[in-house]
Amino acid sequence: MSKNLPQVSSYIASNSTYFLKSILHREKTYTLVSDKHGKVIYPHKPIKIIRNTCKLHGSSYQASLFQAKQFFGKNKHKLPIMIAYDFGDPCVLFPLFSPSSSQNIWISFQSIINIVEHNEETIVTFLDGSEERLPLHCKSFNHQYVRASMFYKHLILKRNATL
């Protein structure tokens, strides 16, 4: 765990969030949070941030997952979810691995500006120009990104239909 990064006791994900990355330190899982303000350490798993954000906005992780399953089909896994509406814009995050995995990384769909394959990994560039090397084949990452894009578009169209 990086000793140079500040630790926060709470964090609510938003469209300012870039990613929530699980990191292990002394057999405990923490979260490396990256957003437009920089990076901080949160002393719990990323799924706790997801659950707390959904709860703060009057929903739940299970309800968000149900909404995604309604769109993609019930037998899908590693689904993108909408955790909030941030100033009317759906905040969609997608997991790179199983959400229950201690190695999972949640990526904010709206924060990505470039995706590059590098050997067996993927390098993602975010809105502020920062990059993160992710331990996942680019093809797998792109598959997750496309699903998040489809879900985001569905949410926008659904919202616009009610206006």
| Per-position pLDDT tens, the chain of length 163 | 556 899 999 999 999 999 999 998 888 999 999 999 999 999 999 999 999 999 999 999 999 999 999 999 887 889 999 999 877 799 999 999 999 888 999 999 999 999 999 999 999 999 999 999 999 999 999 999 999 999 999 999 988 887 6
- 95/78 Cα distance (integer angstroms): 6
Give the pTM: 0.93
What one-letter code names the amino acid at 136? L
| 11 in a structural domain | no
- Phi/psi for 144 (5° steps) reads -65, -40
Give the pLDDT confidence score for residue 101 in this predicted structure: 87
Parent domain of 86: 17-162
Give the pLDDT confidence score for residue 162 in this predicted structure: 78
Q: Answer yes or no: are the C-beta atoms of 33 and 49 closer than 8 Å.
A: yes
Domains in the chain, number = 1
Give the pLDDT confidence score for residue 85 in this predicted structure: 85
Q: Answer yes or no: are the C-beta atoms of 95 and 15 closer than 8 Å.
A: no
| 4 in a structural domain | no
Give the pLDDT confidence score for residue 2 in this predicted structure: 58
- 42/100 Cα distance (integer angstroms): 17
| 33 in a structural domain | yes
Give the pLDDT confidence score for residue 131 in this predicted structure: 97
| 129 in a structural domain | yes
| 5 in a structural domain | no
- How many CB atoms are closer than 10 A to CB 7? 11
Half-sphere exposure of 156 (CA within 13 A, CB side): 10
| 110 in a structural domain | yes
| 119 in a structural domain | yes
| 9 in a structural domain | no
